[in-house]
Amino acid sequence: MIEELQQLDPDSLTDAEVTELVLSLRRVAETVEATQLRAVGTFATRKLHKTDGAYSTGAWLRSHTDLGRHEANSLERHARLVRTRPLLGMALDTLGATKLRTMLRYVTFRLGDAYAEAEPVLLEQIATLDTDETVVLMRGWAQRVDQDGREPKSWDDNELDLQTTYEGGWHARGSFDPETGAELAAALDAEAEAIYRAGGTDGQQLTLGRRRAMALLEIIRRNHDPAHADTQVPPTVMVTITLDELLKRSGHGDLIGTREHVSSETVRRLCCDANIIRVVTDGASEILDLGRSVRTAPPKYRRALAARDRGCVFPGCDRPPGHCRAHHIKWWDRDGGETSLNNLALLCHHHHHLVHEGNWKLTRAPDGTLQFHKPDGTPFRL
């Protein structure tokens, strides 16, 4: 069927045939989506992701399909709900996968108990609505049951989340208790006012968000400036770039810990503005092989590993260097392995445990390539 669809040329069909084709494909897509939910639910229940060393079904989906992190995790969560809640399982056949998943996007972890009580009524109401009306209903329901918001936050509940966007920028989202929030706002607003009075905005009337963003960066940079706070460690920005690329006007380098490229001009600016520590992989300027004199990889090794491995080396894993440990390929205690770059590789917490306690094996070939083997000895490849 897939080959037939790929070979189908809609332009060769009549108007009536194209119309019927579009409707038929939507019916097929609904069926496929419903089957996918059930299959992923079975996959997650049987924990089949462990067969390939993934730490969750969502992580396995990201490494084996073209799904992004959000959609893969969302699919796993919806599949689990459909599998564990009988009414949802039956509604999948009557309402369709599209409408059902639209509803479930509003069923957050925090609203789980409220949804469990309202589920029969919500499903009955949604049965008579289309997808857009379902959005209106669920949005209203979520606002109604959560109208008081979260309980007052304690210090332990304060959080700040930073995520990269599709465009390569950063998105920040956080929540704070009343006292901390007020203190943060006061500090940012005071700094923003100082920036404005010093001419830092060139007289422009910037939005509150823009002013506070400038203020936050100014506080961070000043706090880490050794001239003002000599007890602080300046921020380290790690960039890899070849000499040829650095000399070219149109060259580019890579920001370690992200998937973003930066221009050679940006690299030159970073070398002036930040604390750039050169990562040496060989040569006489820095020793990179400590033999067995030290077990834990020192900071210079961590920087070199971050530049070389770019994160967890397990196939399909996207954990950045900051989430990884330096693993001895030939174990330091068991195999007498040395603390050298050639014998080290970055592994995230999950895959580090997989190698040590899960009986997976990691080896490095003479050409430098890494190979993972499953507990039964078979090579693992995506």
Query: Dihedrals φ, ψ of 372, to 5°?
Result: -95, 140
- pTM metric for this prediction: 0.61
Residue 169 forms part of a structural domain:
no
> Do residues 209 and 263 share a domain?
no
> Does residue 165 sit within a domain?
no
Are residues 6 and 141 both part of a single domain? yes
**DSSP per residue, 328-358:** ESS-TTTT---SBGGGEEEEEHHHHHHHHTS
Q: At a CB cut-off of 8 Å and minimum separation 6, what does 80 contact?
A: 41, 44
Residues 207 and 317 reside in one and the same domain: no
Q: Is residue 113 part of a domain?
A: yes
Q: What SS3 state is found at 138?
A: helix
Judge if 10 and 36 occupy the same domain: yes
Alpha-carbon distances of 309 from 34, 314, 369, rounded to whole Å: 39, 10, 11
d(CA 333, CA 373): 21
Of 145, 177, 207, the residue that ends a domain is 145
Q: Which domain holds residue 116?
A: 2-145
**Same domain? 208 vs 336:** no
Q: Is residue 243 in a domain?
A: yes
Task: Per-residue pLDDT tens, the chain, 382 aa: give them.
Answer: 678 878 889 999 999 999 999 999 999 999 999 999 999 999 999 999 989 998 889 999 999 999 988 899 899 999 999 999 999 999 999 999 999 999 999 998 888 889 999 999 999 999 999 999 999 999 889 888 875 554 444 445 678 888 777 667 788 888 876 657 767 887 888 888 777 766 666 666 778 888 888 888 888 776 765 444 444 444 455 666 665 665 566 666 766 655 566 666 565 555 544 444 333 333 333 434 445 555 677 777 888 888 889 889 999 888 888 778 888 898 876 777 888 888 899 998 888 888 887 889 999 988 889 999 999 999 998 8
Whether 43 and 135 share a structural domain = yes
Based on the domain organization, do 99 and 224 belong to the same domain? no
* Residue whose structure tokens are 């000043």: 222
CA 168 to chain CA centroid, Å, is 13
Do 250 and 331 have their domain in common?
no
19: its two tokens: 């119309």
**130 and 73 in one domain?**
yes
Distance of CA 269 to the CA centre of its chain: 28
Q: Are residues 257 and 353 in the same domain?
A: no
> Is 297 inside a domain boundary?
no
Is residue 158 a part of any domain in this protein? no
**Residue 227 covered by a domain:** yes
**Does residue 75 sit in the same domain as residue 112?**
yes
Compute the chain's Rg from CA coordinates.
27
Q: Which of 224, 248, 273 is the last residue of a domain?
A: 273
DSSP class per residue in 203-221:
T----HHHHHHHHHHHHHH
Residues 192 and 266 in one domain: no
Q: Is residue 162 part of a domain?
A: no
Number of domains in the chain: 4
User: Last residue of a domain, which of 273, 295, 330?
Assistant: 273
